[in-house]
Structure 1
Amino acid sequence: MKSLKFNFASRAGSVFAVAALAASAAFAGGTHGGGHDESPIGEPGVAANVTRTIEVDAADSMRFTPSNVSVKKGETIRFVIKNSGKVPHEFSLGTEKELKEHYEVMKKFPTMEHEEANKISLKPGKQGEVIWRFTKPGVVDFACLHVGHYEAGMKGQVKVAVK
């Protein structure tokens, strides 16, 4: 009887794993035609293509300095972010909607840390970088999504101009 339960559990786990892989493959496809939707904020940059470096300070005053940045469409920017404070901070690029949605997740999991192409978590006194290529004109938001920081005003914008 035990082996029957084990086999059932094992099969159920396999079914779940296959379903999860299928769902992630469908999500990665982007559109029903199998193509990829281009992100409204751009794409991960390549270090060899960096056109400028912008240093950003993340402070316990719940502000980024600078909080407004201007770039040109097509530029690849290296953001060097320094946490000059005594509490953890992060730098997350996204649309306002994406940032607000992720902030709600951060409220449920406040110790979550990031090291992704468009975001990085930094402990006090630490420094890191995000390399990003801005492919569309408009506004790209950035924020610290640690609980309380976003509401306190720890956010900014990258204004992307047509060349």
Structure 2
Amino acid sequence: MRETDEGTMIFEPAELSFVDGETVRLVITNAGELDHEFVMDTVEANAEHKELMARFPEMEHDDPNAVRLQPGETGEILWTFENAGQYEFACLMLGHYESGMHGPLNVTKS
């Protein structure tokens, strides 16, 4: 996750795909100059979380589906994708989602 020279905030890769039942270790690096977070959830749950973050921008998380990183930091999420469906990964910090920092997370049926 990082910012581009044009000011867009991005994840690389921009899309993730897995199979239900698959367990993965996601290694996430903040290669940008700002704090960022990586949160996996449904689009609806991320929208609710984003609204909460707008009201309480300094709130800390301890969720197994998320990691918040300072510039240069690397973190990991160990996750088993149990249900097929369309999900999303995003940075829900104030203004980051709107700057392009989100992408589809597809879980297909095995």
TM-score normalised per structure 2? 0.91
Residue identity over aligned pairs, in percent, reads 43
Q: Who is 1:81 aligned against?
A: 28
The count of residues paired between Structure 1 and Structure 2 equals 106
Superposed CA deviations along residues 60-103 of structure 1, whole A, max 9, x for unmatched, are 23110012111111001111110001100000011111101110
- Unmatched runs of 5 consecutive residues or more in structure 2: none
Q: Who is 2:2 aligned against?
A: 59
What is the root-mean-square deviation of aligned Cα atoms in Å?
1.0
* Higher-helix-fraction structure: 1
Higher relative contact order (CA 8 A, sep 6+): 2
| Equivalent residue runs for 1:17-36 within 5 Å | none
Q: Give how far 1:156 is off.
A: 1.1
| Counterpart Cα distance in 1 of 2:94 and 2:66 | 16
| Equivalent residue runs for 1:1-163 within 5 Å | 58-61=1-4, 62-163=9-110
Q: Which has the larger radius of gyration?
A: 1
| Counterpart Cα distance in 2 of 1:115 and 1:130 | 12
TM-score normalised per structure 1? 0.62
Is the 1:75–1:133 Cα contact (8 Å) retained in structure 2? yes
AA at the equivalent of 1:105: L
| Counterpart Cα distance in 1 of 2:97 and 2:65 | 17
Greater than 3 Å deviation, 4+ residue runs: none
- Unmatched runs of 5 consecutive residues or more in structure 1: 1-57
- Helix, strand or coil at the partner of 2:71: coil
